[in-house]
Structure 1
Amino acid sequence: MLKAKTRWQLAAYDEILADEIARECGLSPLIARLLVIRGIDSPQRARAFLEPGPELFHPPFLLDGMEESVHRIRQAIERNEPICIYGDYDADGVSSTSLMVHVMRQLGAVFDCYIPNRFTEGYGLHKDALAHLKESGYKLIVTVDTGISAVEQVAFANQLGLDVIVTDHHEPPAVLPEAFAVINPKKPGCPYPFDMLAGVGVAFKLAHALLGEPPLHLADLAALGTIADLVPLVDENRVLARIGLQRLNHTRNIGLQALIRVCGLTDSELTAGHVGFALGPRLNAGGRLETAEAAVKLLTTQDPEEAEQCARILDNLNRERQELVQAITDEAVQMVSEQFPLEENRVLVLAKEGWNVGVVGIVASRLVEMFYRPTIVLGIDREKGTAKGSARSIAGFDMYEALTACKEWLPHYGGHTMAAGMTLPIENLEPLRQQLNRLAAEWLTDEDFVPLTKADVTLDLAEISLDTAEQLEQLAPFGMGNPTPLVLVRDVETSGMRTIGRDDSHLKCSLCKDGGSVDAIGFNWAHVVSEVTPKARFDVLAELSVNEWNGHRKPQLTIRDLAVPHRQVFDWRGCRDKQERWRQLAARHEMLTILFRRESYDELAAGLAAAGQPERLLVVADEAWDGHLPAVPTVVLYDLPKRRYDLTRVLARLEQAERIYCLFGDPDLGAERLSCPGREQFKALYQFLLQVPCVQRIHLDALARRLKLKRDVLDGMLAVFAELEFIRSDEESFRLQPDAAKRPLDDSRYYAEWKEEAELATELLLSSYDSLIHHFQQQVETVTW
């Protein structure tokens, strides 16, 4: 058995609706089923989903505050009043700011942009910045991707005589800022039909209203921020992502062209994945480590040389960011191990001086992946006496709601259900940690701490083809709200399983069933190679895609999770380095070792003692054994049993075992125990004794050679004769007893044990793998293998 990393939940769907959509839209049953699973409830909506175009944009003036905002901005342009675009330093904020820069240029406005420094100012509007902007002659501030929580700051701006238009998409607080206008589709009472736009999506709508038509020439920027901010790719977000990716692949933005080059993607068909894992992180890198200035310059410059320079700066910063993230993650993992054990912390709140607040959000995401706990990671500033950081959550724990319940310790916070940012006094860290853990104890069950993976459909291996993989591409772009379809393939074997990659951390194999096969790859799944048997049968959760190489296209599965639902028996019989193999296993698993021979136990226990290691779970299943075995998933059968009864008793008590390693075999026991001599061999020895009634011990080696026996086999045969009283022995010789009564060999207990032990050893050592499993089944029919 090999357990899956997550809980699998197969999606339910309306079969009648799926059939209707397939019929009305001319779609395959698979695509129709996937559409229904994604909430598509009519053929009309299915067509809109599969063919998203500009006609699907909602009227921008449905956004509350849009009409006033457009009027004020146009008024400022007519009067040549300087306008400041006030943005944010993440990829969404940079994209929003850059989009508005291009729009203001197009409208002929007098403008500039301002993005606060993450380290000296932090997120959002700041009074000092507003005062500086007032002194610089600005009269109108237009925020993008920020401002919805800036009640005090907007009030200060009003006192200065500044008009502030807030455009944002974050969760509104109970009290909204009294700005000139507030545009946020989440704002209470706003009639806009779609409230999940990213910050750049809201900026796009403002541009639409200002220009009188959707600014499709800026859709590449809109796609960047929308995809990078992980908003659901449905409704207008899907339209922006689809149109934006098409434009991104042919972008005229010289900054984006330079960024694509430094990412090594010039010859690639850019997808949402490229934005999320290549372009987006580089746009984020500037704001995380320094300022967002280079990112905004990159996306707005008209100078090719400046574009190349900015792209290289961001690429270098991204490498630095990756190293920094890894270092902080390592420290955070150690902190969890030493100070905040998982069994006592349902929410992790980790803080340390020196941690770069620009990357703690990434670290928090990594820790959620590792520990699956709501996690907050903060950098401490001793001089200011504050801790500043980011939060990431899990399903079932609304982080924004949780932080709101802790607002007495949080002077500044904001965010979403799954992510948030905050600043608080250092002394408030422990009360915050305690309160969040109390909330988690109320809101979450033990099952909530096991990640849930939702599978879309179960496919038989025979259903997986190039045509099927190509059909799935109709659903792209994939992301939040429209995840890449996950298919469940059951009861398959593997062939050609091997590790690949620079550090052999990835898995490559073919999944096989009933003569068919499909290539599969699992990134960071190399450990599976050593944890499964050649005959293991897998259930695999995977993404199906088209793999194109040298002009050849074929389907490929990318493994996301897998399981071996049956017990596995590992055939390590007869390995010569069994102690080393045993030590390697013990280092990886909590492991029960079953020994049938006291001498094997003495050997292992002595080795552990010599190494200064605690005695692991070692059980000697001999006549003195009480029959108790601890429930441990990994079990090692270290040596050969002497009696069938001992083996049967052990197997009957391994119901909880998921993996059984057969490590028995040479050199467990001497040759005399591997094969019991037959009656003809005993007869030959007896006939020799009739001719030579007294055999000196010093001549036993010669006698063994004469009878073509190994010496220890001869010793065993003499022990049988002595037990049957055919001979009498002393310190110097063996002497035949001519008057001894005739008795069958089976009367000898020594012979019966020898015979049973030899037959059992032959069955266990010389059988094939399949025969070994069959033998175990025969021993205990109630055990499920």
Structure 2
Amino acid sequence: MEAQYEWQLKPVPTEDELQTITKDNPLPKAAAQLLWQRGLRDAEQINDFMNPNVGQLHDPYALHDMQKAIDRIQEAIVNGEKITIYGDYDADGITSTTLMKETLDDLGADVEVYVPNRFKDGYGPNLEAYKRLIENGTQLIVTVDNGVSGLEPIAYAQEHGVDVVVTDHHELPSELPNAVAIVHPRHPEGQYPFGELCGVGVAFKVATALLEEIPYDKLDLAAIGTVCDIVPLVDENRTLVSLGLQQLQNTDRPGLVALCQSAGLEQATLDATNIGFGIGPRLNAIGRLGDATLGVQLLTTLDDEEAVEQAQFIEQQNKKRQGLVQEITATAMTIAETPENQASATLVIAHEGWHEGVLGIVASHVVEQTGKPTLVLTIDPETGLAKGSGRSVTAFHLFKALDAHRELLVHFGGHHMAVGLTAKVDQLALIQTAMNEYAQVNQLDLTGRQPLPVDLALTLADITPDLYQALQQLAPFGSDNPEPLIELSAPQLADVKQIGADQKHLKMMAVDQQQQLAVLAFNKGALMPDLTAAEDVKLVGSLSENTWRGQTTLQLMVKDLATSGQVVLDQRSNRLTKQLFQSTGDYVFFNDKMREQLQSYLPAGSQALLATDEQVATSQELIVVDEPADLTAFEQFYQQQQAAKLSLIFYAKHSAYLEGMPTKQQFATFLVYLRKHPNIEKARLAELAVYLKLQLPLMIFMLQVFFDLGFVRIERGLITAELQPEKHALESAPSYQKRLAKIEMEKQLVYSTFTEVKDWLATLPAVANR
């Protein structure tokens, strides 16, 4: 079983390099190695990284236009002007809007919020929305998590006497809007020491300047937005999240308390992972399916009952979002696997009636499963337009690939790894051609696996609570400070079972002679049969703790896995069912007549091969349907095949091993009867078997032995015993020897335990290149 990713083990420091790190910082070896790998080698650097504190937060006035922004907002507060905070519909935007609203409320401002609708307003300043706000009396607009791309709407506002203060972190366009102030950590005229703040990070700095102190009570919001926007968790972002997690674990915000309860999160132990996979998707789900203003209401409410109702509704929305993603992804993958798409380096997948709000997530799933840059769009048959999102792989700059073909697009924006776009349906084929040409012109190899950096290569014996605690010293984890990935060699997996309502996930134990470790693998449930049979497994994943009934144990959360050698599956059966013929591999028969009988039952694309066919040597997946005549026949087949996966059914209509070999007395009784009753019709053998108290298959076998030895003759369907045949030992008959060989074969291959079968296979000479 090949890995989905290309594992790239990071360099390992020398002992001298490790000692340089640990002499001033008494750290476990694993933690020191991770720091070295992440470029943290100076004692002061390491101390700051390991001990985030408020002293590491930069001066908010170092941000471009901060003073102008503060002066204009304070003026509005003093004059009682109506201020509107113009936010965004994702988790960063919702927390940014909430944080700014609370700050202005604290200062007594006349403030309201406007969170644009993804479907009506789109991202960022919307001219029609600005017009409505101004008509309704807004005198100052403060943007959060957006604004730098709002050239036309902001110009309209300024022309109509309404000032706009922009606070944003997104990529700066070549022409900036004519706002009163543009507070941005990467403004070309600014000199802020850290350019990677997200929207809520910038809002937090504005709040700090407005309040003239650090708003500790708002650090929980800063942590949520920073983690969810996947900005680098280093420098000031690391500090905000570290301090924010402490606040979040003790927050008394009714909305966050209710959200954690509905999501099944333990508030006291919340970490960045919980935010990224628990809180963030739920806040994002509101804006994906409807009006994200509810998110601001949830985070600002002081009413416990209202918070519970809102959190429950958000939970329902999130489940609806999950269902939509699952349903659309299944259809999208079916389209991705058509022959023409399998031959294409990139994918453009469009379909009527898909929910626009989840297409980015669907595109991510398709990219993960196919490794191809992918656009996923929903078609509006009335307008003839397709609208959706794209996701890419590291080697393919999706924005550049499409930016050169703006003439094919109605609306477009994005960056290296993600885009949003609208196009006419009749242009989609040209768009896919353009993407494929971009890959070809730039000589991009999109057939290879995506790289997966791995921090540590360990054995089960290395996995201890002390190691886990050492790794946790580098938390919180996120972009640019990822959770450490461990490559683990597991000699064997035990108790492999599917879990989850749809059996999509796996739970198992990695074991060796001395130790075991729980392993969870999400979305890998289909691999259960292969992993049950696999040995020499390698896993890549991250360590976490699991607490159950007061007991805390370690577990590995799998990111990828691989097995070496051949996977052999036990499907032995004395009954042929449809389930045995669902695999798309090639089916192997030792009996040509059985091959002809069962060929029509095989799935499309599968071959029905005889064990001696040359194609056996090239097939990657083989299913052995029937029994070989003897062990030699199987050994010859086994030596010829080089499949990565070998399934063994070994069906036989009758079992020689179970029926056994007739006794000499039974042979004698039958032969005496034949001598006394000449010209017995073959059609009456079943009656005769009942009379002589013999199994019919055994009687037919004995008759074959007698025929081989010349004890009987069969003419025109009549059986007659020779009265004076030559003497021969029963054991000398070819049919007798053949049955002995079949009994031995069934004993070894069919009626042994599967462990015994695999042990026997291991004794056979190795096949080259397997």
Q: Specify the TM-score bucket, using the shorter chain as the normaliser.
A: 0.7 to 0.9
Q: Distance in 1 between matches of 2:76 and 2:690?
A: 116
Residue 122 of structure 1, CA deviation: 1.5
Contact 2:146/2:170 (8 A) holds in 1: yes
1:712 aligns with 2:711: no
Give the counterpart letter for 1:253 in structure 2: R
Give the counterpart letter for 1:576 in structure 2: N
Aligned partner of 2:581 among 586, 601, 610? 586
Greater displacement, 343-352 / 466-475: 343-352
- 1:203 to 1:416, Cα distance in 2 relative to 1, 3 A: farther
Residue 27 of structure 1, CA deviation: 0.7
Residue in structure 1 matched with residue 39 of structure 2 by the alignment: 39
Q: Distance in 1 between matches of 2:734 and 2:318?
A: 76
Greater displacement, 241-250 / 264-273: 264-273
1:696 aligns with 2:703: no
1:638 aligns with 2:625: yes
Contact 1:406/1:436 (8 A) holds in 2: no
Contact 1:84/1:113 (8 A) holds in 2: yes
Q: TM-score, normalised by structure 2?
A: 0.88
Question: What pairs with 1:387-406 in structure 2 (closer than 5 Å)?
Answer: 387-406=386-405
Greater displacement, 105-114 / 376-385: 376-385
After superposition, the C-alpha distances for 1:721-756 in whole angstroms (9 at most, x for unaligned) are 12xxx7766544232556x6x889898666665555
Q: Secondary structure at the match of 2:473?
A: helix
Q: Distance in 2 between matches of 1:254 and 1:631?
A: 63
Question: What pairs with 1:422-501 in structure 2 (closer than 5 Å)?
Answer: 422-425=421-424, 428-443=427-442, 445-446=444-445, 450-501=449-500
After superposition, the C-alpha distances for 1:509-543 in whole angstroms (9 at most, x for unaligned) are 32211222122233343333322445733212232
Greater displacement, 425-434 / 115-124: 425-434
Q: Distance in 2 between matches of 1:628 and 1:551?
A: 56
Residue 221 of structure 1, CA deviation: 1.0
Contact 1:729/1:735 (8 A) holds in 2: no
Contact 2:336/2:342 (8 A) holds in 1: no
Q: Distance in 1 between matches of 2:359 and 2:594?
A: 51
Give the counterpart letter for 1:618 in structure 2: A
1:653 aligns with 2:640: yes
Residue 481 of structure 1, CA deviation: 2.4
Aligned partner of 1:772 among 753, 757, 760? 757
- 1:604 to 1:316, Cα distance in 2 relative to 1, 3 A: closer
- 1:664 to 1:76, Cα distance in 2 relative to 1, 3 A: same
- 1:137 to 1:286, Cα distance in 2 relative to 1, 3 A: same
Give the counterpart letter for 2:184 in structure 1: N
Contact 1:671/1:712 (8 A) holds in 2: no
Question: What pairs with 1:316-715 in structure 2 (closer than 5 Å)?
Answer: 316-337=316-337, 341-381=340-380, 386-410=385-409, 412-425=411-424, 428-443=427-442, 445-446=444-445, 450-533=449-532, 536-573=535-572, 575-577=573-575, 579-580=576-577, 583-587=578-582, 589-605=583-599, 616-621=606-611, 625=612, 627-629=614-616, 631-642=618-629, 646-655=633-642, 657-664=643-650, 666-668=652-654, 696=678, 698=680, 710-715=698-703
Greater displacement, 226-235 / 37-46: 37-46
Give the counterpart letter for 2:610 in structure 1: V
Residue 502 of structure 1, CA deviation: 3.9
Contact 1:470/1:545 (8 A) holds in 2: no
Contact 1:197/1:237 (8 A) holds in 2: yes
Residue in structure 2 matched with residue 198 of structure 1 by the alignment: 198
- 1:761 to 1:66, Cα distance in 2 relative to 1, 3 A: same
Q: Distance in 1 between matches of 2:444 and 2:396?
A: 11
Residue 251 of structure 1, CA deviation: 1.6
Question: What pairs with 1:213-362 in structure 2 (closer than 5 Å)?
Answer: 213-265=213-265, 268-304=268-304, 306-337=306-337, 341-362=340-361
Q: Distance in 1 between matches of 2:670 and 2:82?
A: 120
After superposition, the C-alpha distances for 1:198-236 in whole angstroms (9 at most, x for unaligned) are 111111122233333332221111111111222222222
Contact 1:704/1:711 (8 A) holds in 2: no
Contact 2:490/2:510 (8 A) holds in 1: no
Q: Distance in 2 between matches of 1:360 and 1:665?
A: 47
Q: Give the root-mean-square deviation of aligned CA atoms.
A: 3.7
- 1:585 to 1:271, Cα distance in 2 relative to 1, 3 A: farther
Q: Secondary structure at the match of 2:143?
A: strand
Contact 2:166/2:179 (8 A) holds in 1: yes
Q: Secondary structure at the match of 1:663?
A: strand
Q: Distance in 2 between matches of 1:461 and 1:391?
A: 40
1:175 aligns with 2:175: yes
Q: Secondary structure at the match of 1:274?
A: helix
Q: Distance in 2 between matches of 1:605 and 1:564?
A: 31
Contact 2:402/2:434 (8 A) holds in 1: no
Contact 1:538/1:562 (8 A) holds in 2: yes
- Give structure 1 stretches of 5+ with no counterpart: none
Give the counterpart letter for 2:574 in structure 1: R
- 1:555 to 1:697, Cα distance in 2 relative to 1, 3 A: farther
Residue 309 of structure 1, CA deviation: 4.7
Give the counterpart letter for 1:270 in structure 2: L
- 1:748 to 1:732, Cα distance in 2 relative to 1, 3 A: closer
Q: Distance in 1 between matches of 2:368 and 2:534?
A: 31
Residue 705 of structure 1, CA deviation: 5.8
* Identical amino acids, percent of aligned pairs: 35
Residue in structure 2 matched with residue 98 of structure 1 by the alignment: 98
Contact 1:470/1:546 (8 A) holds in 2: no
Q: Secondary structure at the match of 2:626?
A: coil
Q: Secondary structure at the match of 2:178?
A: coil
Q: Distance in 1 between matches of 2:690 and 2:380?
A: 87
Q: Distance in 2 between matches of 1:398 and 1:371?
A: 17
After superposition, the C-alpha distances for 1:364-395 in whole angstroms (9 at most, x for unaligned) are 33333343333333344566665443332222
Residue 242 of structure 1, CA deviation: 1.3
Contact 2:360/2:391 (8 A) holds in 1: yes
Give the counterpart letter for 2:597 in structure 1: E
Contact 2:535/2:564 (8 A) holds in 1: no
Q: Distance in 2 between matches of 1:566 and 1:721?
A: 47
- 1:449 to 1:139, Cα distance in 2 relative to 1, 3 A: farther
Give the counterpart letter for 1:123 in structure 2: Y
Residue 626 of structure 1, CA deviation: 5.2
Contact 1:728/1:736 (8 A) holds in 2: no
Residue in structure 2 matched with residue 111 of structure 1 by the alignment: 111
Q: Distance in 2 between matches of 1:436 and 1:176?
A: 30
Residue 430 of structure 1, CA deviation: 4.1
Q: Secondary structure at the match of 1:201?
A: helix
Q: Distance in 2 between matches of 1:388 and 1:702?
A: 76
After superposition, the C-alpha distances for 1:401-432 in whole angstroms (9 at most, x for unaligned) are 33433333445433333233334455554443
Q: How many residues align?
A: 761
- 1:535 to 1:259, Cα distance in 2 relative to 1, 3 A: closer
After superposition, the C-alpha distances for 1:59-97 in whole angstroms (9 at most, x for unaligned) are 223333333333333344444444332211211111111
- 1:783 to 1:763, Cα distance in 2 relative to 1, 3 A: farther
